[in-house]
Amino acid sequence: MSRKTIVVLFGGVSVEHEVSLVSSKFIISNLDPSKFSLLPVLISKDGRWQRAVLDNWQEGHPPAVVPDSEIVPMLYGSPPGRFAEIVNGEIKEIFSVDAVFPVLHGTFGEDGSVQGLIDLMGVPCVGVDLLGSSLCIDKIVSKAILRDNGIPVVPFFGFSGTDWQNDKEAVLRRIEDEIGFPCFVKSSNLGSSVGVSRVNSPEAIAEAVEASFDFSERVIVERAVKNLREIEVSVIGNQDPQASVPGELVVEGGFYDYQKKYHDESTQFRIPCDLDPETQERVRTLALASYTALCCTGMARVDFLVDADTDQVFVSEINTIPGFTPISMYPKLWEASGLCVGEMLEMLVELAEQRHRMRRELRTDFSGSS
- Residue 193 within any structural domain of the chain: yes
What average pLDDT does the chain have? 92
111 with 194, same domain: the answer is: no
- Residue 135 within any structural domain of the chain: no
194: Cα within 13 Å, side-chain hemisphere? 19
Asked if residue 79 has a cis previous peptide bond (ω within 30° of 0), the answer is yes
234 with 219, same domain: the answer is: no
Domain limit, last residue, from 223, 246, 270: 223
260 with 273, same domain: the answer is: yes
208 with 108, same domain: the answer is: no
- Residue 71 within any structural domain of the chain: yes
pLDDT at 256: 46
- Residue 142 within any structural domain of the chain: no
pLDDT at 194: 66
- Residue 57 within any structural domain of the chain: yes
Residue among 255, 265, 205, 262 at smallest CA distance from 226: 255
- In terms of Cβ atoms closer than 10 Å to its own Cβ (0-12, 13-18, 19+), residue 192 is buried
* CATH number of the structural domain spanning residue 64: 3.40.50.20
- Residue 369 within any structural domain of the chain: no
21 with 83, same domain: the answer is: yes
pLDDT digits (tens, 9 = 90+) for 289-330: 999 999 999 999 999 999 999 989 999 999 999 999 888 999
215 with 233, same domain: the answer is: no
Domain limit, last residue, from 223, 248, 263: 223
- Output the pTM of the full model: 0.92
pLDDT band at 191 (very low <50, low <70, confident <90, very high): low
Q: Cα separations (Å) of 358 from 116, 147, 288, 362, 363? A: 17, 30, 21, 7, 11
Domain limit, last residue, from 200, 223, 246: 223
183 with 247, same domain: the answer is: no
Report the chain's C-alpha Rg in angstroms. 21
Q: Between 344 and 310, whose confidence is greater?
A: 344
* CATH number of the structural domain spanning residue 176: 3.30.1490.20
159 with 257, same domain: the answer is: no
199 with 232, same domain: the answer is: no
Could you tell me which residues are beta bridge partners of residue 103? Answer: 10
Q: What percent of the chain has pLDDT over 90?
A: 81
19 with 46, same domain: the answer is: yes
pLDDT at 226: 86
- Residue 146 within any structural domain of the chain: no
Does 76 score more than 90 pLDDT?
A: no
pLDDT digits (tens, 9 = 90+) for 230-262: 999 999 999 999 999 999 999 875 554 445 554
- Residue 252 within any structural domain of the chain: yes
* CATH number of the structural domain spanning residue 287: 3.30.470.20
186 with 248, same domain: the answer is: no
What is the domain count for the chain? 3
219 with 237, same domain: the answer is: no
Q: Are 28 and 228 in contact (CB under 8 A)?
A: no
Residue among 293, 318, 305, 306 at smallest CA distance from 150: 293
Domain of residue 294: give its range: 228-355
